[in-house]
Amino acid sequence: MAKRNGSGPATAESMASKQRDISVSEFFLKNRHLLGFDSPRRALLTAVKEAVDNSLDACEEGGILPEIAVELEQTAETRFRVTITDNGPGIVKNQIPKIFAKLLYGSKFHRLRMSRGQQGIGISAAGMYGQLTTGAATRILSRIKGAHTAHSMAVQIDTRQNKPAILSDTEQDWLPMFQPVNAEGQPEGEPVVSRHGTSVSIEMEAAYQRGRQSVDEFVKQCAIVNPHLSLHYRMTLLTKAESGKQKAEKGAAEVSTSAITPPPSTISVSYIRAIKLMPKIPDEILPHPHGVELGMLMQMLKDTESRTVRSALSSDFSRVSAQTALDICERAGIEPKTNPTRIAHQQSEALYKAIQGTKLMRPPTDCLSPIGEAQILAGLQKELKADFFTAVTREPAVYRGNPFQIEIGLAYARPQENEGLGNEEPVRVMRFANRVPLLYQGGACAMTKAVVGVNWKSYGLAQPKDALPLGPVVMLVHMASVWVPFTSESKDAIAGYGEIIDELTLGLQECGRRLSVFLHKRHHELEAARKRSYIEMYIPHLALGLKDILKLSDKEEDKVVTDLKRMLEKTHLDV
Amino acid sequence: MAKRNGSGPATAESMASKQRDISVSEFFLKNRHLLGFDSPRRALLTAVKEAVDNSLDACEEGGILPEIAVELEQTAETRFRVTITDNGPGIVKNQIPKIFAKLLYGSKFHRLRMSRGQQGIGISAAGMYGQLTTGAATRILSRIKGAHTAHSMAVQIDTRQNKPAILSDTEQDWLPMFQPVNAEGQPEGEPVVSRHGTSVSIEMEAAYQRGRQSVDEFVKQCAIVNPHLSLHYRMTLLTKAESGKQKAEKGAAEVSTSAITPPPSTISVSYIRAIKLMPKIPDEILPHPHGVELGMLMQMLKDTESRTVRSALSSDFSRVSAQTALDICERAGIEPKTNPTRIAHQQSEALYKAIQGTKLMRPPTDCLSPIGEAQILAGLQKELKADFFTAVTREPAVYRGNPFQIEIGLAYARPQENEGLGNEEPVRVMRFANRVPLLYQGGACAMTKAVVGVNWKSYGLAQPKDALPLGPVVMLVHMASVWVPFTSESKDAIAGYGEIIDELTLGLQECGRRLSVFLHKRHHELEAARKRSYIEMYIPHLALGLKDILKLSDKEEDKVVTDLKRMLEKTHLDV
């Protein structure tokens, strides 16, 4: 067996000869668990999530009510083809290879504006994972507004260089078409045809499994927090015979011999939009001075197009007026007309301290687009049978200079009509960041921590120590921000900044108080009903007694019963 | 306030114009919590850890017994200068800028061999964090073997391009010198002078705090698992007066008016090596075929220098002999002399399946360098007062084709002589990966999960449900591997692969059984001692009684007492 190993201790020179660049694709390929591709099941969800995020962002930026089709098709025992099609504005041809086969490429990283995607990694990483596990290319079909044909491309990522390789590139006819289905999976209503859109298809090693962390759950939760979205979901598993054939091909011994082929196991469901109103397109904002660190300030002063420090301060930052800029310069002992580049090198620290010591308005919040209380209620009511619903949208707040906004929805469900909910079960927490469902790593998330941290006993729910409260309750927790601080690149859990935990807690407590009023009232009503039924049970006996004593006729007895009942109904039964 | 926002919905063309590259430095700067720089306190530890990892790796590769100085110097209220100096082989001049000011550059990523560093990110990230928070450059001084002078360089990272910028570059005289100190921080013994070495200095926003997650703890644990290392640690805090002055400069109101300046708070301690033997330099290995995925196989076939598939298989992989390579080709239906590049494109999947279906020896384990049971015991005994020590080094095992090895040390300490340990306290788990202490995210780590998963009640320790056992016990857990699967790039916790958890569990159980024998024996001895003292208490009364009954003289009474005691000592007191 050959080894590449040298012999003897290394010297500075021999070590230098081994140093080399590591491409960002190689890095993430080896560390793909950082991106959410650590197991076949999770990989399937992550790929769908990244593609749907991109589609929703593109539709909303393009001002188009989103229509998205998610298709999962099992192609071998451990393989799926994942196809996401949208009616978005489409992608111009020369951008397709980079967007789908280059990590760290995108439009959302360098701006401060709320969106689902942030880093320019997700969809390329999904393609790279597919390539690693199946050798297959990412296939894209895209038609832009006004174009006669669609581009069809197959791309792969050259991981050594983090560059796209184009395997095929043709023009073809295409119209994105979406066929709604009913609850039985049968076509229902007219198909929706769009003049533009994008479809991406990736084949990858994957596993499908139902449950709380499944694609089924993801698309359902997507529909809840995006009431303006129509989403058509179809999942097809191989039949046992097909799967057996695949196994036989793989060299395994087991072959299905059943003569009758059962139909393929499928799921087919359409979530039709509840409202035809687009969410407000959030504004892009400039960085707030109090969220900018010294090194970043220096970089901004070097990069500015302004000719003076004063104008750089007022035009590159939010909440700095010309007068405030003057005040800051004065406080820092800097001539306001100095060239910003010079300041970057010599007096940046004085300027930094002056900025930190200046009172400023909090950052603007037009950059956020919360779901809204009414929409949250509508979303929950569509999906859950419950007796009580409430929702709170908090005022925007700020962490590290980044505006954010917390929303909470709460439903007290009927356990018998909702699977997995019960008086003895922990409440269910549905987490969302910028309208994207978060299904993994709940335990590490600030949202879960905030729920655990609230004293739910005072609102009428049982709660074991340091744990989620118990009861047939569903909580929806949403954070909207220009920059969501995820604890890892797989974007599953939110980091526990103090300001974020505080806002979450206040929102949860507000919902808790309302729940408490409901539970209290319901308790009274149940008690009253119990007493009433108790008395009602005795009315006939009472009437019979009266009949005997007063020698009433049968008719008079009936009247007594009726009168007593009426009396009972009129009486306010205080418990 | 100016906004960069365009107006109206975006089109495919307007969106294309906003797409751009994101440099890996920009990415990690914005996501620096992924690298362990999310709080000032943790940043200090992470910087020290990355620098010490590099120094230890360099010394060991160079066959040099490591001598390392770690200096933390507070320079302002929220700032520290971190300086790490080693006696390693030094760094050749043209490599210095890239090693210290470019992310994803290094020698360890592309090889399969056990080392502390893996990714070529750590030390550059520390420098980038310093630059962001203080604007200062990373300063490096390095002298290589045989050179007359040392290179002195100041470098920064151009985050837009992930490229180093050299701010200064001079030659100067320098000899790395290490002065051991005693427990009082006073110089003791001769200073050690080396003809070569590297010193790196970074100024950064940081906070110092004692405790389990401090630099103090890190250097101490480093010394425990690296008994061949001499480490000199010095930490200097500003005096209150100096700190007050800094505050006043920052524009804060509070100024220290105390006339008497207290001496600066310092820590100064040397950990001198316990053994002069270098750990075995681990071999580099080739990838094991069962750990290689389809996409990686294709890449390897494209890259190989071999001219035939058969020779590519036997020379680029471990555990594939010429005969095995032939068998694999046959099974895949591939002509063994085919050009590997052709296979990469056409028949790679058949080849992949054939490899998966072929039995192969497990990967070689010369690539691992465990600490060893004797060294673990020595390390624990140096640091802890305990009545019982044990250690287990497991045989190497394999996950995803990567060899790894688990080691466990366990000490049953005297609570009164070890702070923080007690019968009612959870046991303390010290975690290590490739001899590097892991101080953060214990809850997310496979090592903690394995400890919780063992049934410690059967070994004599109390254990609440789903929690660490209780008792004055310290456990040392070490994983050595060519590739440690960390859950995040900050390298704090190990992912819970089944094979890893299994090995951890077996090692812990073995230590548990030994602990159980000790506790059982000690219980017997304590019981015996209790009975003995009980009986001894009554001997004089017994003798007095005998004296009265038998009319003994005082002398005879004394003899009775002596005889009874002797009898007692001889008797085996069965409890």
Fold exhibited by the domain A373-511: Ribosomal Protein S5; domain 2 (3.30.230)
Kindly provide the b/e burial profile for residues B312-338, where b requires at least 16 CB atoms within 10 angstroms of the residue's own CB.
bbbbbbbbbeeebbebbbebbebebeb
Q: Is the pLDDT of residue A1 over 50?
A: no
DSSP H helices in B339-490: 340-346, 348-356, 373-383, 446-453
ipTM for this model: 0.76
More confident residue, B96 or A281: B96
Best mean pLDDT range from A54-58, A102-106, B529-533: A54-58
Element (H, E) at B526: helix B498-550
**DSSP letters along A297-309, please?**
HHHHHHH---SSH
Chain B partners within 8 Å of A23 (Cβ): 104
pLDDT at A456 over 90: yes
Give me the residues of chain B with pLDDT under 70, please: 1-7, 240-264, 345, 567-575
A55 touching chain B per CB within 8 A? no
Given this model, what pLDDT does residue B376 score?
92
- A91 touches B: beta carbon within 8 Å: yes
Average pLDDT for residues A256-265, to the nearest whole number?
A: 52
Task: Give me the pLDDT at residue A568, please.
Answer: 64
pLDDT given at position B336: 92
Whether A245 shows a pLDDT value over 70: the answer reads: no
Task: Quote the CA–CA distance of A49 and A214 in Å, as a whole number.
Answer: 11
Closest CA to A215 of A59, A439, A477: A439
- The beta-carbon neighbor of B135 closest among A90, A285, A348 is A348
SS3 at position A231: strand
Distance CA(A221)–CA(B229), nearest Å, equals: 54
Apex A220 CA angle, A214 and A224, nearest 5: 140
Which of B107, B111, B285 lies closest to A15 in CB terms?
A: B107
DSSP states of A426-489:
BPEEEEEETTEEE-S-GGG-HHHHHHHHS-GGGGT----TTS--BSSEEEEEEEEESS--BSST
- Report residue B86: phi and psi, to 5°: -130, 170
DSSP line for A510-542: HHHHHHHHHHHHHHHHHHHHHHHHHHHHHHHHH
Q: Which CATH superfamily is domain B24-238 in?
A: Histidine kinase-like ATPase, C-terminal domain (3.30.565.10)
- For residues B393 and B506, give the distance between their C-alpha atoms in angstroms, rounded to a whole number: 11
Full-model pTM: 0.81
Closest CA to B495 of B503, B509, B484: B484
Q: B449 CB contacts (<8 Å, ≥6 apart)?
A: B496, B501
Q: Is the pLDDT of residue A251 over 50?
A: no
pLDDT of residue B242: 66
Q: Which residue has the higher pLDDT, A481 or A24?
A: A481
Q: Determine the Cα–Cα distance for residues A508 and A447; give it in Å rounded to an integer.
A: 10
Instruction: Quote the pLDDT of residue B51.
Output: 95
Residue carrying structure tokens 């999947």: B349
Q: What is the pLDDT of residue B502?
A: 96
Q: What is the pLDDT of residues A329-372, one digit of tens each?
A: 999 999 999 999 888 767 888 999 999 899 998 888 888 889 99
Put simply, whether A4 touches B (Cβ < 8 Å) is: yes
Tokens standing for residue A265: 């196991």
pLDDT at B3: 40
Q: Of A75, A333, A360, A52, nearest to A219 (Cα)?
A: A52
Chain A residues closer than 8 Å to B314 by CB: 1-2
Residues B53 and B219: their CA atoms lie apart, in Å, by 11
The correct CATH number of A289-357 out of 3.40.50.150, 1.20.1560.10, 1.10.8.50, 3.20.20.80 is: 1.10.8.50
Edge-to-edge strand ranges of the sheet holding A266-271 = A163-172, A150-158, A138-143, A197-205, A79-86, A67-76, A230-236, A266-271
Per-residue pLDDT, averaged over A544-564, amounts to 76
Largest alpha-carbon pair distance within chain A?
120
B556 in contact with A, Cβ within 8 Å: no
Interface residue A320 vs chain B (CB under 8 A): yes
First-residue to last-residue Cα distance in chain A: 86
Rounded to the nearest 5°, which phi and psi values hold at B150?
-110, 150
Q: Is the pLDDT of residue A35 over 70?
A: yes
Structure confidence at residue B43 (pLDDT): 94
Contacts of A26 in chain B (CB under 8 A): 109
Q: Which residues pair with B511 in a beta bridge?
A: none
Q: Which of A22, A92, A131 sits opposite B105 (nearest CB)?
A: A22
Given this model, what pLDDT does residue B575 score?
38
**Distance separating alpha carbons of residues A71 and A80, to the nearest angstrom:** 10
Question: Does B1 sit within 8 Å of A286, measured CB to CB?
Answer: yes
Q: What is the pLDDT of residue B246?
A: 53
The Cα diameter of chain B in Å comes to: 120
C-beta separation of A227 from A57 below 8 A:
no
Q: Which two tokens stand for residue B381?
A: 């005994």
Domain layout of chain A by residue ranges:
24-238, 289-357, 373-511, 520-572
With H, G, I as helix, E, B as strand and everything else as coil, classify residue A43. helix
Place of tokens 């010294």: A294
B443 secondary structure, DSSP code:
G
